[in-house]
Structure 1
Amino acid sequence: MSTRHFVNDPTKLVGDALHSLTLVNPHVALDEEHKIIYRRPNDAPTQVSILSGGGSGHEPSFAGMVGPGMLSAAVAGTIFASPSATQVRAGITSRVDVDKGVLVVVMNYTGDVLSFGMAVEKARAAGIDAQMVVVGDDVGVGRAKGGKVGRRGIAGTVLVLKIAGALAALGRSLDAVASAARLAAENLVSVGASLDHVHVPGRAISTEDALQDGEVEIGMGIHNEIGSGRDKIALSELVSRMLAQLLDQSDKDRAFVRFDSKQVVLLINNLGGVSILEMGAITTEVVTQLGSGYNIKPARVLSGMFMTSLNGLGFSISLLNAVDTDGISMISLLDAPSEVPGWAAPIQSVTWEARNTQVRAGSSQFDQRKKPSGQTMDASTEKSALTTALQRVIAAEAEVTKYDTVVGDGDCGIGLKRGAEAVLKHVQQAGVTGDILSDLADIVSVVENNMDGTSGALYAIFLNALVHALQSLESGALTRRKWAAALKKSCDALSKYTPARPGDRTLIDALYPFVEILEKTGSLKEAALAARKAAIETQGMHASLGRSVYVGGTGFTKVPDPGAWGLSCFFLGLAGLEPTAE
């Protein structure tokens, strides 16, 4: 449970968060006194007004869903607490149009039902045509335990709001809109899971009933309420249990909806603290299991933050049996346009209905060889030199890692070793032909597929440029001076993509001296020794580029640059020199 917040005053937090909506959505205004976000008056035709709300902490629900195509107003309580009946009454009587009637949609929590219900009755007594729909979609607590209270309302509620809002925008009557909302609620099930409770800013810290490390609560509510059980299980098993609670008709305690419609809507809701990356993995797991286990291919898949629990480290799954309502499909109502920041469904109906399954075929690899280049050398000599050089890089991994741990993030040695091992495996299994251009083109592909990070990108650019440079040379045996000329062109190409130059404490410090001496003397050994000498001299050199720039301390005075050192090991091996050569 994270107890650190940028704003620790809950009153200021809620007020400022509500005000922010008026900054990002020109359609809405704020009644600060009653904490109501409402649509600004405009010249649009009058329609049924839809009002919702509840405790704060569930953003973007509900205030973030006020705007054309969805809510007319939302009433906010304090964090995880229902707004008062006075607040709700102010919303109904003074912040929305009442000419066509008002539909109040509220989640099934006692405080919300009582406060909103009292306001609805007050409105009716004042002559306003008002109806209320209570949404209880959570199956985390079954019939037996739920008793008279019934199911809690959680993220599936936003589907009800969207359907009702779209139908209201079409000019339908209050009875029709309320009927559609009730029908959607009756065909809706949801269940959540979380790895931890959340901390409410401004409240005392409580670790009571805390989840253990690695433990997940299945069915946890959006206010830290307990669910149906806890366990230490992997995502696949967690999703399997959650879907069983939603869909298993043999579970009479939870079989609330029979999914016999051909159109099922899937909503995967982020409770606030799950990364987008993990949400992608969760979405894939849920859709895969729906298909393989229940033969359900959702007509719509919505994934994102719709109803959070502050920064809750969890997610919920909602399934809607999308039936027709008032002669219109719920699918089309969900697809209908809206201008609210809290409804994240940017894919249009025509795109969904097209069901485009086409893919692009073909290899992602460019054939840089085309035909024999004529740039040749003895194949056995080539293979022997490459093998020795790559083995030297692999052997130097611990040394390079030690250096990078001091001045970087410690991954340079592993990255170089991974690339060297992949190229060595290729050389040993596929062999070399002696046609340098052909062999190098194959090695480039191996490097691109096996080396990541900055070093991987630099090596890939350099080697691709080297292929291009070799293509421009006359055919025939490759002398070392020819090699030097091609390497010089590759350095020039690399300089277009990085500002690194000798003296910046990077692998460039070893590369440039190698190329310079090879061009000047034609001696591979002298070039390799120059590279090693330059790598040694990076010790004590201030970094101008790379991650080392951000690492403080005096470590740079104690070790050479890891990248330059690793490359110098390769050059020494290529020249047949021992690693200790200086």
Structure 2
Amino acid sequence: MSTLEKHFFSDPTVLVNGALRALTLTNPSLAFDEPNKIIYRRPDSFKGEAKVSIISGGGSGHEPGFAGFVGKGLLTAGVAGTIFASPSAEQVRRAVLGRVPTEKGVMVITMNYTGDVLNFGMAAEKAKAGGVATEFHAIGDDVGVGREKGGKVGRRGIGGGIMVLKIIGALAEQGGSLDQVYKLAQQVCNNLVSVGSSMEHVHVPGRGPMESLMPLGDIEVGMGIHNEPGSQTVRADLPDLIKLMLAQLLDPSDKDRHYVNIQKSDKVVLFVNNLGGVSMLEIGGIVAELVKQLKSTYSITPVRVIAGTFLTSLNGLGFSASLLRLEDTGLGSGKSMLELLDFPAEAYGWAAPIATSTWEADNSSTFDSKHTTTSDPKKSNLTLDPAQAQKALEAGLKQVISVEAEVTRYDTIVGDGDCGIGLKRGAEAVLKELSSGSMPTDAVAYLNKLVPVVEENMDGTSGAIYAIFLNALAAGVRKQDTGSEKKMDAKTWSAALEAALQDLKKYTPAAPGDRTLMDALFPFVETLRDTGDVKKASEKAREGAEATKGMKASLGRQSMLGRRMNGEIPDPGAWGLQEFLTGFAGAL
């Protein structure tokens, strides 16, 4: 069984009804007609004059589309079918005639798929026959399947169609007439192009095993939102994939797909839709690459960039990109395509909260180094020998680098495997800083030059602990400044280290016996305090690290194992620290 076939629900009916019911829990202005799978605005949510009602819908599995867009400023009702199947004409008819206001008419709008067009269209005709002013429109924005293959059916409706719903929903909320809403839907579609790509087909909950999966590395360009094939299968990195997708959207020489003639002088909205299974981290990278290529290849800078999860294919491992050319609506102030797109909506699925005023503000200012909240640190009267310090530090840091593989092996067994790499990365960065030849004699300033290097190059929990400790050590050294010039010695360092250790305890409960780097740090600091001997202190640090081999971890990922180690694996953090201290002490 592939991961695509793993679901928390095995009964699709229970799943669909539960998901629809949840919308009323996240938005109290909505109600749920369960037998007909209709989400609709409660009558009390309408205030003031009557407005055109907008009804959309389609198969489930595309969440938040379509019921997730029901709410003030967007849809009046959404009708759901089973997964990837259109609702029946009777369901839609009940929505039109029983679940929405009809005084100003009803706009029935869905995506351009045969089942949806037939069933929503039939309901629209029934409503008209019953005396309700009704218009019907099928959204087509996909260019992945061109004119030749699309034939008389026309373009499929995919992610960009959500912008159509958003724009006409805002117009209806502002009192637009049925005729205006209908014509605007057509106008937006005529200026809209979209294309999707996916790395995998999706599995529908409650169905048997999938017959086939896409080969690793294949990307279907133009895949629809129900696993339908696209224009081609490619193997490409992201920049090349984006290049191909933008060509399908914008290349005027591709007569099969050139539906909208977008020029660099046009104002354009970029709309990026997650098909459900792409991490938001990757969606961010995709958005950045799309904007980069739009600017560099086509000299187009979008006036809006909207990204999120709007119309999915269950957990589809893909995304779609849409471009909307903004055109004058002729509807007057406050009702341009852009203003309607920005108009507030109270709908679960509309994830574009940036206000018009923010987009139109002067967004060129930045903070630079002149605006930093910290001034140059005050000089201290405590000095050290940079050459001697460099010799000892280099020895310790090189020792850490030399045992990276060993520490990584330990951490791979008991943790997430990144401790050795993190220590090595930090050590190499500090070595580079030391080799710059510009280290000060002021002990506080010396430490303050190394702290940012650790902060910027060591990540994870260990990196944070080292950065906090070194900052606290700099503060601890400053506490030893009596106002008279003095050279740092073992006693002064010991007092500063103790102060730093006390500060560190504010941020972590870790103590000796918890199987952490504290098992090496505490004995080092305590022995240095008692003896003033760095080598004896480093030996105690090694003994502390050795003792972690049989300990049960109380903190961090290791504690999740819930057992003692087998007596052979020390705590990776403690081991890495004692290696540094051993090398450091040996060079003094």
Match of 1:348 in 2: 355
Deviation at 1:554, TM superposition (A): 4.6
Once structures 1 and 2 are overlaid, which stretch shifts more, 387-396 or 180-189?
387-396
Query: Does the CA contact (< 8 Å) of 1:56 and 1:78 recur in 2?
Result: yes
Deviation at 1:37, TM superposition (A): 0.9
Deviation at 1:358, TM superposition (A): 0.6
Read off the aligned partner of 1:247 and give its amino acid letter. Answer: L
Distance 1:486 1:304 in 2: 50
Match of 1:470 in 2: 477
Residue segments in structure 1 that go unaligned for 5+ positions in a row: none
Read off the aligned partner of 1:410 and give its amino acid letter. Answer: G
Query: Does the CA contact (< 8 Å) of 2:395 and 2:587 recur in 1?
Result: no
Q: Does 1:565 align with 2:575?
A: yes
Call closer, same or farther: CA 1:72–1:433 in 2, change over 3 Å.
closer
Query: Does the CA contact (< 8 Å) of 1:382 and 1:432 recur in 2?
Result: no
Task: Report matched runs for 1:488-527 at 5 Å.
Answer: 488-527=498-537
Call closer, same or farther: CA 1:433–1:125 in 2, change over 3 Å.
closer
1:397 corresponds, among 404, 409, 420, to: 404
Read off the aligned partner of 1:9 and give its amino acid letter. Answer: D
Q: Does 1:303 align with 2:313?
A: no
Query: Does the CA contact (< 8 Å) of 2:552 and 2:565 recur in 1?
Result: no
Deviations 1:49-76 (A, max 9, x none): 1111111111111101111111111111
Query: Does the CA contact (< 8 Å) of 1:123 and 1:129 recur in 2?
Result: yes
Call closer, same or farther: CA 1:380–1:129 in 2, change over 3 Å.
closer
Query: Does the CA contact (< 8 Å) of 1:368 and 1:441 recur in 2?
Result: no
Q: Does 1:426 align with 2:433?
A: yes
Deviation at 1:542, TM superposition (A): 1.6
Read off the aligned partner of 2:459 and give its amino acid letter. Answer: D
Distance 1:304 1:139 in 2: 20
Distance 2:93 2:385 in 1: 90
Query: Does the CA contact (< 8 Å) of 1:197 and 1:224 recur in 2?
Result: yes
Call closer, same or farther: CA 1:106–1:136 in 2, change over 3 Å.
same
2:220 corresponds, among 201, 217, 220, to: 217
Distance 2:545 2:75 in 1: 65
Deviation at 1:189, TM superposition (A): 0.8
Distance 1:314 1:31 in 2: 32
Match of 2:27 in 1: 25
Q: Does 1:244 align with 2:251?
A: no
Deviation at 1:297, TM superposition (A): 1.2
Deviations 1:72-128 (A, max 9, x none): 111111111111111111111111111111111111111111111111111111111
Q: Give the number of equivalent residue pairs.
A: 576
Q: What is the aligned-residue identity percentage?
A: 56
Match of 2:167 in 1: 163
Match of 2:126 in 1: 122
TM-score w.r.t. structure 2 length? 0.95
Deviation at 1:551, TM superposition (A): 2.4
Residue segments in structure 2 that go unaligned for 5+ positions in a row: none
Match of 1:540 in 2: 550
SS in 2 for 1:430: coil
Match of 1:332 in 2: 339
Distance 1:5 1:198 in 2: 12
Match of 1:146 in 2: 150
Match of 2:15 in 1: 13
Read off the aligned partner of 2:203 and give its amino acid letter. Answer: H
SS in 2 for 1:54: strand
SS in 1 for 2:43: coil
Deviations 1:443-475 (A, max 9, x none): 112111111111111111111111111122233
Read off the aligned partner of 1:341 and give its amino acid letter. Answer: Y
1:50 corresponds, among 33, 48, 54, to: 54
Read off the aligned partner of 2:585 and give its amino acid letter. Answer: A
Deviations 1:229-262 (A, max 9, x none): 0111011111111111111111110110112473
Query: Does the CA contact (< 8 Å) of 1:382 and 1:434 recur in 2?
Result: no
Distance 1:164 1:12 in 2: 32
Task: Report matched runs for 1:35-46 at 5 Å.
Answer: 35-42=37-44, 44=47, 45-46=49-50
Deviation at 1:277, TM superposition (A): 0.7
Call closer, same or farther: CA 1:346–1:131 in 2, change over 3 Å.
same
Call closer, same or farther: CA 1:151–1:196 in 2, change over 3 Å.
same
Deviation at 1:406, TM superposition (A): 2.5
Deviation at 1:431, TM superposition (A): 5.5
Q: Does 1:174 align with 2:184?
A: no
Query: Does the CA contact (< 8 Å) of 1:83 and 1:115 recur in 2?
Result: yes
SS in 2 for 1:539: helix
SS in 2 for 1:538: helix
Call closer, same or farther: CA 1:145–1:311 in 2, change over 3 Å.
same
Query: Does the CA contact (< 8 Å) of 2:551 and 2:564 recur in 1?
Result: no
Deviation at 1:376, TM superposition (A): 2.4
Deviation at 1:25, TM superposition (A): 1.1
